[in-house]
Amino acid sequence: MKKKLGEILSSRNIVLHSNQTINEGREILIANQLIAAPVVDDQKEIVGVVTEGELIQAKNVDPDEPITLLMNKDWSAVSINVNLEVALKAGGFWIVAVDEHKTPIGVLSKYELVDAVIEVFDTTLKRLHTVMDSAHNGIIALDKDGLITHYNSAAEVMFGFPQDKAIGRHIKEVDPESTLMDVVQTGQAQMVQKRKLPQAIILTNRRPILRNGEIIGVVAVFQDLSEVEAAHNELRSVQALNHELESILKFSHDGLAICDGQGRFLRVSPSFSKLLGIPDEELTGRAVSSLSEEGQLILSVIQAVINRRAPVSMTQNTSSGQQILATSVPVFDELGQLVRVVTNLRDMTELNDLREQVQQTSELSRRYLHELEEWRARFVATSEVIASSETMQRAVELALHVAKVDSTVLITGESGVGKQVIAKMIHRVSPRRDGPFIEINCGAIPETLLESELFGYERGAFTGAAREGRTGIFELANNGTLLLDEIGEIPLNLQVKLLRAIQEQEIYRVGGSQAIKLNVRIIAATNKNLWQMVQNRQFREDLYYRLNVVPMEIPPLRKRRDDIIPLTNHFLKLCNDKYGFNRHLEPEVYQVFERYNWPGNARELQNLVERLVVTCNADIITEKHLPASMSKKNLGSPQPVKVFGLTTLKEAGEIVEKELVTRALRAGKSTRRAAELLGVTHSTVIRKLKQYNITPGTQSYQNGTEVYQAVKDD
């Protein structure tokens, strides 16, 4: 029997809208006693499914957030006119039933769909058995030994032998003149055999029963010749049903068995025999009560059906680790007598494993999504940090490492080295990246106002205070990160309050008496020597230790000259994008930049690049556009080569030569220009590239910042 998807849907057609809140969705599902509902957008298009469980368990999510935040994407839309078997093959865990206009009618899970298919299957199987036993024609089935495995009521009438006594007996005991065993011996079907019985003249069709090409029995169908014409169509129907039943028994993944009203096996499927570990030929005709330990579950469930005269389901865990679900259903005759017990065995191990795999896959997907979000945040956060030098790369790696925890970080370094940039990067890759990042320059605020700026003040706290009071920097940074820049400028009398706020994670507003609990990560930055200030009694020692949990020093630009060209190109690109220019620097400018000491560090470099971009009238910026203080004649001699250990003169020469070629490529952007800078021929540069395995091409520094491109000249 085919059943449509629309026939098993709930009568409550509830559809949620994507702009409804989590709280509204939860109330609707609970009120309508639904476990899930489809979600549509403004165009009435289905965008997902929300479940009652996910809405109820979302404790840490704002209930006023849209339901799309908790929307399940594992769904498929299926027409209500599709058969259940077809719907079961659709992708996704949730099935959204839609009408011919693609309008959602309802939603159900794969588990509900499987239960519905099983119910249809059980109903069909019950009907098949009922039809088989009520067939007008006599049916006798034998196993290969001649024992009767099926003997219906019509056969009882024809042969005059009781049906309940025929099963399990040899055919000769019921019909001494029977030649059914000839079919078993020859393997040949005998069609339309005419025979006279005391009660009637019959026609019989006999066929061997095969399994894997082996004859395992014979089945005979007897027809009363006087009723052949009337029963012709009915016979064909019964034969088709019998074949269908045989196919179901043969190919069903579940174990199926049919017993008579006394609990004797009449027919079993191969899967049933396999689950019990007993050959089916040994089961057929055998009483359930004769089963040993391996059949206790079957004995219990069938005996319970016989006693209760109602369907019964039980589960059992086998010694091999399988979980078996047994369901038995009674079949009654027209007088209400129990004549059959149909039993279904299902190995739930595979289903449970599948359910666990689905759960693991969902957890894995969530973890991958979380990791992807972390990597995305890390990429975005580090995109503004240029770290080509080894010292700067170590600083960035330390920053990325400590960003995972909430430890206090103390960033030291000269003015303009990028302490604020590192602090922002730590925040953006930390678990607090969705919270606020608040920065305050402690040296830029008058001492009299600093306390109220940090902690806020209550209404009427002092003369001139705002009537409604004011929220302090600490409160604004709650659940986020607070950068205390120029921490060394905080006066001593305020340092003890700052220490308590950091240590206890609570503050008191100026003029207030109520403690305010906070959850703030502290990052401090300074260009001063705090430890020296501690020695000079200008900075509290306990506050110093509280801030100096993770010390991080950012070296000045003159000590990380490998960052000069990458930073220059980074700032140049930002300025070109900002002002719509296409400025470029001559190689001589890069040489000057590399030799300059940059007392103002990266900030001075950024400001100078912007000045050159906006003041230069040509697209090519040359050395003549530089300030007079940066001309080559004012820079002095290049930095001397530093020797850190002994090596041979040949090896030292090769090291220096390789470094010079690399720097010339970086500054000149082509092999011909590099040759000019080095004062050698173009062929010499090409030879050195091969000698030192240097490949001209795009040279990339951390975060994908393009520094230069050395293209081999034609």
What pLDDT is recorded for position 295?
62
**174-183, 308-317, 512-521, 691-700 — which one is most confidently predicted on average?**
512-521
pLDDT range class, residue 577, cuts 50, 70, 90:
very high
What pLDDT is recorded for position 706?
30
For residue 308, give the nearest of 335, 334, 329 by alpha carbon. Answer: 329
Kindly state the average pLDDT of the residues 493-517.
90
What pLDDT is recorded for position 212?
85
- Res 697 pLDDT > 60: no
527 CB contacts (<8 Å, ≥6 apart)? 412, 413, 414, 415, 419, 486, 488
- Res 699 pLDDT > 50: no
- Res 137 pLDDT > 70: yes
Distances (CA, A) of 405 to 370, 402, 450, 498, 501: 17, 6, 28, 21, 19
How many Å apart are CA 398 and CA 429, to the nearest integer?
Answer: 12
- Res 701 pLDDT > 60: no
* CATH architecture for segment(s) 120-349: 2-Layer Sandwich (3.30)
Q: Where are the domains of the chain?
A: 5-111, 120-349, 384-555, 585-709
pLDDT digits (tens, 9 = 90+) for 361-406: 778 777 777 667 666 655 655 666 888 888 888 998 899 889 989 9
Q: Is 395 helix (H, G, I), strand (E, B) or coil?
A: helix
Q: How far apart are the first and last CA of the chain?
A: 78
Given a contact cutoff of 8 angstroms between Cβ atoms, the answer to whether 201 and 225 are in contact is yes
Model-wide pTM > 0.85: no
Q: Is the dihedral of CA 136, 138, 143, 149 positive or negative?
A: positive
Please provide the CATH number assigned to the domain covering 5-111: 3.10.580.10
How many Å apart are CA 442 and CA 497, to the nearest integer?
Answer: 14
pLDDT range class, residue 499, cuts 50, 70, 90:
very high
Cross-strand partners of 209: 217
% of the chain surpassing 90 pLDDT = 23
Q: Is 506 helix (H, G, I), strand (E, B) or coil?
A: strand
Kindly state the average pLDDT of the residues 505-524.
91
Give the class (CATH, top level) of 585-709.
mainly alpha
**58-72, 186-200, 562-576 — which one is most confidently predicted on average?**
562-576
Please provide the CATH number assigned to the domain covering 384-555: 3.40.50.300
Question: Could you give the residue ranges of the DSSP H alpha helices within 505-600?
Answer: 530-535, 541-547, 564-579, 587-595
What pLDDT is recorded for position 712?
32
